[in-house]
Amino acid sequence: MYQDDATGQLGVLVVSSGDQAVWHRRQTGREPDKWSDWESLGQPDGDPVQGPVATATLSDGQVMAHGHPKGTSGSAWFRISNNHVTQLTGIR
């Protein structure tokens, strides 16, 4: 879970036990029951992801997320800005 500094809204990133992809959901309003539908971010570079996705807020307010693709020693990184998630490629 993270809080977007720009909007103050919460977001969640999880790994599905079914398809082993990263999924994202975000708060869409100030009310506690206002959330988007779950959105699949897929499997980074086609590799299933294992374990939880960790998030951190940088000093500029940008949120970064990190996960581990199965069977690799690499990492998958995501940038979250205004509750929009972008996978960063080429970072392992």
Residue 51 above 70 pLDDT? yes
Percentage above 70 pLDDT, the chain: 83
Phi, psi of 57 (to 5 degrees): -100, 125
Taking CB atoms within 8 Å and a gap of at least 24, the contacts of 17-26 are 19/43, 19/48, 20/48, 20/49, 20/50, 20/70, 21/48, 21/49, 22/49, 22/53, 22/65, 22/67, 22/76, 22/78, 24/85, 26/83
Q: Where residue 88 falls among pLDDT bands split at 50, 70, 90?
A: low
pTM: 0.75
All structural domains of the chain with their residue ranges = 2-88
Q: What is the pLDDT of residues 56-83, one digit of tens each?
A: 887 777 788 877 777 666 677 777 766 5
Q: What is the pLDDT of residues 12-26, one digit of tens each?
A: 888 888 888 888 898
Residue 38 pLDDT: 94
